[in-house]
Amino acid sequence: MAITGQIALTVLMGLFLVGVAAWLARVENWRSYTPVGGGATGGETAYGSDEKPAGLIRWLTTVDHKDIGLLYGAFGITAFVVGGLMVMVMRLELFDPEMTLISNTYYNSLLTSHGITMLFLFGTPIIAAFANYFVPLLIGADDMAFPRINAIAFWLLPPGALLIWAGFLPIPGVIPAQTGWTMYTPLSAGVGSGNQANAGVDLMLLGLHLTGVSATMGAINFIATIFTERGENVSWANLDIFSWTILTQSGLILFAFPLLGSAIVMLLLDRNFGTAFFINGGSPILWQHLFWFFGHPEVYILVLPPMGLVSLILPRFSGRRLFGFKFVVYSTLAIGVLSFGVWAHHMFATGIDPRLRSSFMAVSLAIAIPSAVKTFNWITTMWNGRLRLTTPMLFCIGFVQNFIIGGVTGVFLASIPVDLVLHDTYYVVGHFHYIVMGAITFAGMAGLYYWFPVFAGRMYQRRLGKIHFWLWLVGSNITFLAMILLGYGGMPRRYATYLPQFATLHQVATLGALVMFVGGLVWVYNFVVSWLEGPRVEDADPWNLKQSGLRTNEWAWFERKRETALADGGDEEALADGGDPVDEE
């Protein structure tokens, strides 16, 4: 009952805040605010590229959405490499049941950092990279609504990353957090005989807070941009699907991340100033409620834009329009709303009131429908289409395959009796990796390959792209299927050692991870080499979209840009600046 009482208080508090917001909206005339320092008044947002300084200064001072998109991309990919290397060490440790390569506590540190790095330093930023670069182009805006806020949002990330990784840096007395990415209290509150009262945990929490502020600023910017900066003829009736998903995602960020920030502050207060939110007589379960009220929307924050990428790219290589475009739009919005009503499906095993539990199950089953609808739309789009199995298309198809397995395993977890058996086993790890790696990262790769000609001005090596895809498809399915089987066998998650009976499946999982690692090397090599000396793009429509009537705004922009660059005689950014045309075949 204590818990239901708390929930009731939370709901009351929520209603109160909504009331405050409504009241503020009435008394304040927001439109009368004039932005200080400019940048937000319509028409003046286009910071001309001719004003850009050269070299490093350009990147430190840029407010151009495309440059910021590239910065986000470079940051996200760096984090992806860091998080990937961390998990490789962990998988090697898991090759045999005993503690061999690293200590158990170091394993826990890597585990925590891997999760946080991938979700907050790779996932959210890589999506922001695509959104920054392409949403303004897709909706015909000059730039983001608030270019400087855009720059600030990005520049909060590197210090955030440093704080999150601080425990690994050689700072005396500071050790990495070992709380898991969910930071459950009381462990994360630093009580007990463990070492989690260490300042490393505080630094990580502060870093996380910074990335949350960054994401929130970005979200406000995207909402403002998509609502107010749309070009001529771009209406709600023909907004592209990627911008729809970014709009919905930004809405989710706006409601979810500030809550994470508040919870983090409460945890910091508990840790350092003796308050009693979660410990000292407070409720450790309260943390789980607050965390998952953020955490579940967060998983959709991560998956909606990749769904948008696939919905945008997959039809281009199927030779036809996206089947049921509006189904995809409405189901995106439905996911957005419902994702706030399912959080306690992560808490079925905590002993909360069974009546509440069943409600969370009901809404979790309901939210599976919009996801399934999209899957059918993608399949139907490809059905009888003229498929061109380019690298981006392969990654889109891989996305659909992995998303089906990830989604179906999720629906099973949403069922209380099944979850009580599988909770905290490798089954859960398999479920969400099918989605975060198999789907989200695959869609990110589809986007990176698809738009490589736009942002690099050159073409990647196609054969290497396909090798990358197949290594990842095979590797991810080996690893994550093995995890699901481990979970059925009862292997608990978050352990550095295990019983010998699990050895074979763990070795299979490590093998799959090594396959993915090789694929990752191929990808990095391909991108670096192609970026530096790949054949320059000779055609503003490298995917021949014009022919099938499927060319979207960003490619039209690309064509105009190339034409003006040529007319100008070219500048440092010109793509066809007289470089030798290289034959691509």
- Contacts with Cu ion by CB under 5 A lie at 296
Which contiguous run of DSSP H or E holds residue 396? helix 391-413
Residue 365 CB, shortest distance to Cu ion, in Å, is 12
| Residue appearing with tokens 């700072």 | 171
Q: How far is the CB of 380 from Cu ion (least distance, A)?
A: 27
Binding partner at 432 among Cu ion, another protein, ligand HEM, none, C-beta below 5 to 8 Å by kind = ligand HEM
Q: Shortest CA distance to 258 belongs to which of 303, 290, 284?
A: 290
Helix (H, G, I), strand (E, B) or coil at 364: helix
Q: Kindly tell me which of 310 and 514 has the beta carbon lying closer to another protein.
A: 310
**Which partner, Cu ion, ligand HEM, another protein, none, binds residue 358 by CB below 5 to 8 Å per kind?**
another protein
Binding site for ligand HEM (CB under 6 A): 182, 299, 302-303, 345-346, 364, 367-368, 371, 407, 410-411, 413-414, 419, 423, 428, 431-432, 435-436
Is 359 a binding residue for another protein by CB under 8 A? The answer is yes
The reply on whether position 1 binds another protein by CB under 8 A is yes
**Inter-CA distances, 267 with 186, 209, 253, 334, 352, Å:** 10, 11, 20, 32, 22
Which one, 269 or 411, has the nearer CB to another protein?
A: 411
Q: Which residues contact 501 (CB under 8 A, 6 or more apart)?
A: 489
Question: Which is nearer to ligand HEM, 302 or 485 (by Cβ)?
Answer: 302
* Per rule CB under 8 A, count of chain residues that contact another protein: 77
CB of 177 closer than 8 Å to CB of 109? yes
Among positions 29, 32, 34, 235, the unique one binding another protein when judged by CB under 8 A: 235
Residue selected from 39, 212, 218, 319 as contacting another protein according to rule CB under 8 A: 319
Question: Shortest distance, CB of residue 215 to another protein, whole angstroms?
Answer: 22
Given the complex with another protein, which of 172 and 355 has the nearer CB atom? 355
Tell me if residue 425 falls in helix, strand or coil: strand
Residue 105 binding: pick among Cu ion, ligand HEM, another protein, none (C-beta 5-8 Å cut-off by kind):
none
Residues of this chain, 98-157, that bind another protein according to CB under 8 A: 138, 140
Nearer to Cu ion, 240 or 419 (CB): 419
The residue sitting closest to ligand HEM, measured at its beta carbon, is: 410
Nearer to ligand HEM, 267 or 514 (CB): 267
Residues counted in the chain = 585
Report the C-alpha gap between 160 and 208 in whole angstroms.
6
182 binds, among another protein, ligand HEM, Cu ion, none (CB under 5 to 8 A by kind): ligand HEM
Cβ atoms of residues 449 and 392 within 8 Å: yes
Site for another protein contains 331 (CB under 8 A):
yes
φ/ψ of 564, rounded to 5, equals -65, -40
Q: With respect to ligand HEM, which residue has the nearer C-beta, 118 or 550?
A: 118
User: Rounded to the nearest whole angstrom, what is the least distance from the CB of residue 389 to another protein in the complex?
Assistant: 7
Report if residue 362 touches another protein, rule: CB under 8 A.
yes
Contact 344, 289 (CB under 8 A): yes
Characterize 339-363 residue by residue with b for buried, 16 or more Cβ atoms within 10 angstroms of its Cβ, and e for exposed.
bbbbbbbbbbeeebeeeebeebbeb
239 binds, among Cu ion, another protein, ligand HEM, none (CB under 5 to 8 A by kind): another protein
Q: Per rule CB under 8 A, is residue 552 in the interface with another protein?
A: yes
Q: Rounded to whole angstroms, what are the CA distances from 273 to 207, 269, 385? A: 19, 5, 62
Nearer to ligand HEM, 373 or 467 (CB): 373
What residue 320 binds from ligand HEM, Cu ion, another protein, none (CB within 5 to 8 A, per partner kind)? another protein
Query: What Å distances lie between residue 250 and 128, 139, 151, 436, CA to CA?
Result: 10, 16, 17, 19
Q: Which is nearer to another protein, 392 or 430 (CB)?
A: 392
379 binds another protein (CB under 8 A): no
- Beta bridge partners, 458, equal 536
In the complex, minimum distance from the CB of residue 541 to Cu ion, in angstroms, rounded to a whole number: 41
Find how far residue 369's CA is from the centre of its chain.
22
Per DSSP, the residues of 69-118 read HHHHHHHHHHHHHHHHHHHHHHHHHTTSSS--SS-HHHHHHHHHHHHHII
Binders in 505-544 for another protein, by CB under 8 A: 542-544
**Residue 97 lies near another protein (rule: CB under 8 A):** no
- Which member of 86, 189, 241, 446 binds another protein (CB under 8 A)? 241
Separation between Cα atoms, residue 155 and residue 513, nearest integer Å: 32
**Residue 53: cis peptide before it, omega within 30 degrees of 0:** no
Closest to ligand HEM by CB, 51 or 424: 424
Asked if 303 and 125 count as a contact pair (C-beta separation under 8 A), the reply is no
**Stretches 61-69, 106-114, 141-149, 348-356: which one binds another protein (CB under 8 A)?**
348-356
Q: What DSSP letter does each residue of 274-317 carry, written as one string?
A: ---SSSTTS-HHHHHHHHHHHHHHHHHHHHHHHHHHHHHHHHHT
User: Could you tell me the smallest distance in angstroms from the CB atom of residue 119 to ligand HEM?
Assistant: 8
Residues 205/268, Cβ–Cβ less than 8 Å: yes
Instruction: Fill in the per-residue mask, 295 to 314: x = in contact with another protein (CB under 8 A), - = not in contact.
Output: -----------------x--
